[in-house]
Chains A and B, each alone.
Chain A
Amino acid sequence: MTPVLGEVWVYLSTTPLLGLTLTLLAYQAALWLYRRANHHPLLNPVMLAVVMLVLVLSVTDTPYGTYFDGAQFVHFLLGPATVALAIPLHAQWGRLRSMLVPLLATLVAGSLTAALTAVGIAALLGASRESMMSLAPKSVTTPIAMGVAERLGGLPSLTAVLVICTGILGAICARYVYGMLRIDDHAVRGFAIGIASHGIGTARAFQVSEQAGAFAALGMGLNGLLTAASLPWVLPWLERLIG
C-alpha cells in the first residue's frame, strides 16, 4: 500500500463509518440480485449480504469486532423493530379473536415441536450444550431468539446464524410440505410458516397471498412471545430428561 492509501485505511478502520456503509452496500447489492432472480428463495438477501460481508472482511483481514463497531447501529434497530411488530399483530386482532382456541392450541404444539425436536436431535447426535441452547430458540425472530439464547446460556451470535438458516429453510421447503399434506387454506399455511420460520418465512408468505402473510405475521409474533416466556422453564426440564 502507498503511504497515502495506508493513512486512509487507518482512518477508515477506526471509524464506525466503514462497517455501517459496508452493511448497507452489501444489503443493497443482495436486494438487487434477489429482485433480478424474481425473489427466488435460494437467493435470500440476508444470506447473500452475509456471504459478501464475510468475504470482504476475510480478504481485508478485518476482525468482526471492528466491523461490528459500525454495524451495531443497524443491529440496534432490532429492538424498536421488535416493538413495532405490535402493529401488524394488532391489525389481525379481529381474526385472532374469532379463531382464538385453534390458533393457541396450534401455537403451543408448533412452538414446542420446533424447540424440542431441534434440541433433542442435536443432543442425540452429540452437539455441545452451548450449541443446543443456541439452537433452541431457532424458530423465532432474531432479536427475541438472541435474547432467549443469552438467558439459556447459548451464544447469541451463533443463534442469529441458526435463526437465519431456519428462516431460509422454511421459506424454501414449506410449499413441498403443504403439497404432500394437501393443505390449501392460506390462513393455515401462513400461520404454520410464521411459527416455524419467523420473519423470513413471513416475507415468503406475503409473496403467496395477503392472507397467508397476515397469518404468518401473527404466528411469528405469538411464537416470539410464547418462546421467550416458556423456554427458560421448559428447557431445564428437557435437559434433565436427556441427562
Chain B
Amino acid sequence: MIGALTLLLVFQLVGEVAVRGLNLPIPGPVVGMGLLFVTLIVRSGPGEQLRATANGVLQHLSLLFVPAGTGVMLHFQRLADEWLPLTVALVFSTLLSIAVAALLLQRLTHRTPSHGESR
C-alpha cells in the first residue's frame, strides 16, 4: 500500500513539475493521471497492489470533497446575491448536457453496424 501511494505521489509530483516547467494550463494531478494512464497501457495494466490502493482511495472519493464543500460558508453572501443566475445555470446546463450527450451517443452507436440491429 505504501509502495502504491508513493507511486501515485511520484506521478502527481512529476505532473506538478511538468505543469510549472512547461507553463501548461492543466492542473498537475491531471497530467499525473495522463502519464500514469500511458504507463499502464505500455506496461499492460496495474499490479495488484496499485489496483487495490486505487480502489481504496476512489471508494471514499466523496470524503475528499467535504473540506472544499464546507468552504460554502465563505460564499454565503455571494450565493445570496447571485442565487438566481447560479441556480438556473446549474439546473438547465446539467440537464441539457446529460440530454445532448445521451442522444448523440445513442444515435452514433446505433448507426455503426455492430450496434445497429440491437433494437
Do A and B come together as binding partners? yes
Beyond A106-B108, A177-B102, A188-B105, is A93–B71 a contact (Cβ under 8 Å)?
A: no
Interface positions of B (Cβ within 8 A of A): 5, 8-9, 11-12, 15, 25-30, 32-34, 36-37, 40-41, 45-46, 50-51, 53-55, 57-58, 61-75, 78, 82, 84-86, 88-106, 108-109, 112, 118
Chain B residues in 8 Å Cβ range of A135 = 86, 89-90
Q: Is the CB of B66 within 8 A of A23?
A: yes
Q: Is A83 an interface residue (CB 8 A)?
A: yes
Chain B residues in 8 Å Cβ range of A233 = 25
Q: Is the CB of A86 within 8 A of B40?
A: yes
Q: Which residue of chain B has its CB nearest to the CB of A56?
A: B70
Interface positions of A (Cβ within 8 A of B): 23-24, 26-27, 45-47, 49-50, 53-54, 57-58, 64, 67-68, 71-72, 74-75, 77-90, 93, 99, 101-103, 105-107, 109-111, 113-114, 117-119, 121-122, 124-128, 131, 135, 138-139, 142-144, 146-148, 151, 155-158, 160-166, 169-170, 173-174, 177-178, 181, 183, 185, 187-189, 191-193, 195-197, 199-200, 203, 219, 221, 224-225, 228-229, 232-233
Q: Which residue of chain B has its CB nearest to the CB of A173?
A: B95
Q: Is the CB of B72 within 8 A of A90?
A: no
Tell me, in angstroms, the Cα distance from A101 to B115 when the chains sit together. Answer: 14
Q: Is the CB of B25 within 8 A of A232?
A: yes
Determine the main DSSP class of B at the interface with A: helix
Tell me, in angstroms, the Cα distance from A94 to B116 when the chains sit together. Answer: 20
Q: Is the CB of A221 within 8 A of B33?
A: yes
Q: Which residue of chain B has its CB nearest to the CB of A152?
A: B25
Chain B residues in 8 Å Cβ range of A74 = 63-64, 66-67
Q: Which residue of chain A has its CB nearest to the CB of B32?
A: A83
Chain A residues in 8 Å Cβ range of B41 = 90, 93
Q: Is the CB of A157 within 8 A of B74?
A: yes
Beyond A23-B67, A79-B29, A225-B30, is A131–B101 a contact (Cβ under 8 Å)?
A: no
Determine the main DSSP class of A at the interface with B: helix
Beyond A82-B30, A177-B95, A188-B106, is A138–B70 a contact (Cβ under 8 Å)?
A: no
Q: Is the CB of A160 within 8 A of B65?
A: yes
Tell me, in angstroms, the Cα distance from A160 to B9 when the chains sit together. Answer: 22
B37 contacts which of A77, A81, A86, A148 (Cβ < 8 Å)? A86
Chain B residues in 8 Å Cβ range of A131 = 78, 82, 85-86
Chain B residues in 8 Å Cβ range of A81 = 57-58, 61, 64
Q: Is the CB of A117 within 8 A of B30?
A: no
Q: Is the CB of B29 within 8 A of A82?
A: yes
Q: Is the CB of A122 within 8 A of B68?
A: no
A170 contacts which of B67, B98, B109 (Cβ < 8 Å)? B98
Q: Is the CB of A181 within 8 A of B62?
A: no
Q: Is the CB of B85 within 8 A of A121?
A: yes
Chain A residues in 8 Å Cβ range of B91 = 169
Q: In the complex, how many angstroms separate the beta carbon of A53 from the nearest chain B beta carbon?
A: 5
Q: In the complex, how many angstroms separate the beta carbon of A109 from the nearest chain B beta carbon?
A: 5
Q: In the complex, how many angstroms separate the beta carbon of A37 from the nearest chain B beta carbon?
A: 15
Q: What 14 new A-B contacts, CB under 8 Å, besides A157-B74, A157-B75?
A: A57-B70, A74-B64, A74-B67, A75-B68, A79-B28, A82-B12, A82-B30, A83-B32, A118-B93, A121-B92, A156-B68, A160-B68, A185-B118, A200-B62
